[in-house]
Amino acid sequence: MREKDKKLVLESGREFYGYGFGADKEVVNELVCNTAMIGYQEILSDPSYTDQMVVMTYPLIGNYGITDEDFETRYPTLGGMVVREYNDLPSNFRYTKTLGEVCEEYGIPGISGIDTRELTRLLRDENGCQRAIITDVETPVEEAVKRIKETPRRTDAVQRVSCKKRWFSRTAHHKYDVVALDCGIKHNIIRQLNARGCNVTVVPYDTTAEEILAFRPDGLFLSNGPGDPKDIRGVVDAVKQLRGKLPMFGICLGAQVIAQVYGAKTYKLGFGHRGANHPVRNLETGRIEITSQNHSYAIERDTLQGTGLTLTHENLLDDTPEGVECKADKVFCVQYHPESAPGPQDSLYLFDKFVDFMRGEESHA
C-alpha cells in the first residue's frame, strides 16, 4: 500500500497526513471549505479561489474527470485542493483529462486521504479560515508553521486574474451590448448573457469610466473575483462615475463593489459561504431560492441605511445580505452565483432582470 507522502499543516500547528496528487510543489494559501456535492471542475477553475486552498466536504472527488467545455476560466488559479478520496479512473464519456492531470498542468497541488469532516469542523467551529501549507511529510511542523507566517499576504489577486486586453463574446442576432468588467469573471456568466441576446465585451479590471462609455454599451456587468473588495479602490471609483448612467448588474465581488459605490461597508466572514445549497429569501416575492455561493466577504446590513440601496435578498443561514438594488439608477447585485456553475438554477431570472433594465421595462421579480 502506498505510504502517505504529503501533509497539510495549518497556521495553528495542526497536521493532517495524506497522499499528494496534481502539482508536486509547496504552497501557502488560505484554507476554505466548499460543501457542494458536484462541480469540482467549476470550483477548480473559478478565479475567485485565487490564493485559496479548497477543502471539498463531499468525500469522493475526481470520479467524473475533467471536460474541456466546462472550464470557468482559461487558466485556473486555484491555490490547492484537499479531498477525502481522490479517484484517478473517471467514469464519464465526456471527460478528456483526470483532475490530477489538470492540477499538474496548471501548477495546483492536491492532497487526498485527509479527514475532511474533522478539518471542516475545525475551520467552522474553532479557528475560522486560516492559512495552511501542503508540504513534504518529513517537514517538521515548526518549520512548516514558520514558512506560513513568513509568506506575505498578497493583495493583487484581481490584477493577476483579470484579462490583460479586451475580448469579445458575440451571439447571433444580438439585441444588447454589455461591457463586463473582468475582476475574475466566470465563463458561464458570459454564456448566460449571450443566451439572452447580449454581445459581451470583456474588459480589464482597471478600465476607466470614459473607456467603458466609449463602447456605447446598453449595460455594465461587474464580475465576481478574488480577494478583499477594499483592495480594488480603482474599480470602485470608476463604477462610481458610471452610477446612474448605465443599468448595472453585479455578482459576488461585483456586489461588494456596488455596495461601496453607494457608501455601504463590507466585512470578512468567519469562514465564508461556499457551496451549492445555500437558502436565500427573495424579499420582493417571499420565495426561497437555493443558491450556489463562494465568497469570503459580505455587506454590512446596518450600513445600507441612507445609501439609496434596498435589501432584496437575505441568507437564511446567518441573515447576511445577499442582494441589494437601487431601482432609480437601475442598479442591482447579488452576493451568490445565479449562473449556476455549479449549482441549482433557481436564480437565472436575474439575468432576465438585467435585460429588462436595458430594455427599459419593469424588472422580473
- Alpha-carbon distance 351 to 356, whole Å? 9
C-alpha cell read off for 295: 465568497
The number of helix segments (H) and strand segments (E) in the chain equals: 10, 19
> Which strand (E) or helix (H) includes residue 210?
helix 209-214
- Alpha-carbon distance 135 to 25, whole Å? 8
Cell 433594465 locates to 357
- Express the helix, strand and coil content of the chain in percent, nearest 5 each: 25, 30, 40
Can 103 be counted among the known catalytic residues? no
Dihedral angle sign, alpha carbons of residues 81, 85, 91, 92: negative
- Say what the alpha-carbon torsion angle 205, 306, 219, 332 is, to the nearest 10 degrees: 90
Among residues 273, 278, 313, 337, which one is catalytic?
A: 337
**Single-letter code of the amino acid located at 36:** A
Can 337 be counted among the known catalytic residues? yes
Among residues 33, 252, 326, 333, which one is catalytic?
A: 252
**Residue 199 region by backbone torsions, left for phi larger than 0, else alpha for psi between -120 and 50, else beta:** beta
3-state SS, residue 286 = coil
Can 252 be counted among the known catalytic residues? yes
Contact 205, 182 (CB under 8 A): yes
How is 289-350 classified by DSSP, letter by letter? EEEEEEEEEEE-GGGGTTTT-EEEEEETTT--EEEEEEGGGTEEEESS-TT-SSS--TTTHH
Beta strands, E only, 114-227:
130-136, 167-169, 176-182, 198-204, 219-222
- Alpha-carbon distance 246 to 228, whole Å? 25
- Give me the active site residues, please: 252, 337, 339
